[in-house]
């Protein structure tokens, strides 16, 4: 049996502990803050003890983080099945979380009298140090999602089959910000809005009456077709570039009707050719 490994990296305060707890609940043997120098030795040991492991690494191992991509490549040649996650959040969100918990950032300078300025500097330095790890990794923006949503995203990701490229479709509301994990963002606010139909206002893009409403509008079909054509044109190229995940975010005003409908439709269209996941940032929070 091949060893399955989930590697979690990301910004301090972005939810790595929550992700580890979700994986532990799913039966993974979990280790937090493993030094990269010990990665291969740890995996060699666990191959005789467990079939699923999860490892979290963060900026506390900054000096040896450049070793990680090469270490992962070596492990893959040995048959280890690896899924990599990078948890991110906006700087404002991370500042607020640190202020609420009164914890110190691992890169903060204790001798700086301006603690707010020092924290922002530490966060930006951390982004720079982790930039290479963020590349070609599945990024999850935890800025405005609940812990339960993050746990659900983690569990759906690990339950999906291992593939060369996984497509993630995500609906969102522009009024709550663009997801920082998006590789492509499509703005569909110009499309007809069921919100202004009294009978449809309380429904979502997953409901049949809303779908029937959209079927009556040719511009919705045209938008759907054009997004399909764009992705169809580039997904093979992205896969050849060794991309593991591509996140396509569809945004409307409230994240309830138009973006949800298109995410559902696109997921159906692409699921026969690619491993496909879908998320509804605003709906999943209710």
- Residue 23 has a pLDDT of 94
Task: Report pTM.
Answer: 0.80
Contact 189, 252 (CB under 8 A): yes
Residues shown for the chain:
286
Do residues 179 and 172 make contact, with C-beta atoms less than 8 angstroms apart? yes
Residue 22 has pLDDT above 90, yes or no: yes
- In this predicted structure, which of 10-24, 156-170, 194-208 has the lowest mean pLDDT? 156-170
pLDDT for 166-207, tens place per residue?
Answer: 999 999 999 999 998 999 999 999 999 999 999 999 999 999
Q: Which residues of 110-133 are buried (b: 16+ CB within 10 A; e: fewer)?
A: eeeeeeeebbbbbbeebeebbeeb
**3-state secondary structure at position 243:** coil
Neighbours of 143 (CB within 10 A): 21
Buried b (16+ CB within 10 A) or exposed e, 177-190: bebebbeeebebee
The phi, psi pair for 121, rounded to 5°, reads -60, -40
Among residues 6, 69, 58, 62, the alpha carbon closest in space to that of 34 is found at 58
Using the predicted structure, report yes or no on whether residue 147 has a pLDDT greater than 70: yes
Predicted confidence band of residue 277 (pLDDT cuts 50, 70, 90): very high
Which tokens go with 99?
């202020």
Rg (CA), the chain: 20
3-state secondary structure of 106: coil
Q: Is the pLDDT of residue 109 over 70?
A: no
275-280/52-56 β-pairing:
unpaired
Query: Can you give the pLDDT at residue 137?
Result: 87
Q: For residue range 231-249, list pLDDT tens digits in order.
A: 999 999 998 887 888 999 9
The DSSP bridge partners found for residue 31 are 55
- Tokens read off for 40: 């291969």
DSSP state of 102: T
Q: Identify the residue with better confidence: 270 or 112.
A: 270
Q: Going from the N-terminus, what domains does the chain have, and what CATH number goes with each?
A: 4-159 (3.40.50.300), 166-284 (no CATH)
pLDDT(67) > 60:
yes
Per the DSSP assignment, residues forming a β-bridge with 187 are 251
pLDDT at 114: 54
Residue 113 has pLDDT above 60, yes or no: no
Which DSSP letter does residue 164 get? S
- Higher-confidence residue of 112 and 284: namely 284
Kindly list the distances between the CA atom of residue 216 and the CA atoms of 140, 210, 260, 261, in Å, as whole numbers in the listed order: 35, 10, 17, 14
* Average pLDDT for the chain: 90
| 8 phi, psi to nearest 5 deg | -110, 120
Q: Contact at 8 Å (CB) between 286 and 207?
A: no
């Amino acid at each position: 049996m091949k060893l399955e490994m989930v590697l979690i990296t990301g910004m301090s305060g972005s939810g790595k502990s929550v992700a580890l707890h979700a994986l532990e609940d799913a039966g993974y043997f979990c280790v937090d803050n493993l030094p990269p120098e010990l990665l291969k030795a740890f995996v060699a040991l666990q191959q005789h003890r467990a079939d699923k492991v999860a490892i979290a690494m963060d900026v506390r191992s900054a000096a040896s983080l450049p070793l990680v991509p090469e270490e992962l490549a070596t492990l893959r040649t040995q048959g280890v099945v690896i899924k990599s996650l990078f948890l991110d959040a906006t700087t404002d969100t991370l500042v607020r979380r640190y202020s609420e918990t009164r914890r110190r950032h691992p890169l903060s300078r204790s001798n700086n009298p301006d603690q707010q300025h020092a924290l922002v500097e530490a966060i930006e330095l951390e982004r720079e140090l982790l930039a290479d790890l963020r590349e070609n990794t599945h990024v999850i923006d935890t800025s405005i999602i609940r812990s339960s949503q993050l746990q659900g995203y983690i569990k759906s990701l690990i339950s999906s089959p291992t593939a060369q490229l996984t497509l993630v479709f995500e609906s969102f509301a522009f009024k709550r910000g663009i997801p920082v994990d998006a590789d492509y963002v499509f703005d569909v606010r110009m499309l007809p809005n069921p919100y202004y139909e009294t009978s449809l206002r309380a429904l979502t893009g997953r409901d049949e009456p809303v779908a029937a409403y959209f079927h009556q509008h040719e511009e919705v079909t045209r938008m759907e077709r054009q997004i399909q054509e764009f992705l169809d044109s580039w997904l093979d190229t992205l896969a050849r570039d060794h991309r593991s995940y591509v996140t396509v975010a569809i945004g409307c005003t409230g994240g309830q009707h138009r973006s949800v409908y298109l995410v559902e439709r696109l997921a159906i269209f692409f699921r026969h050719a690619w491993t496909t996941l879908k998320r509804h940032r605003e709906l999943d929070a209710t």
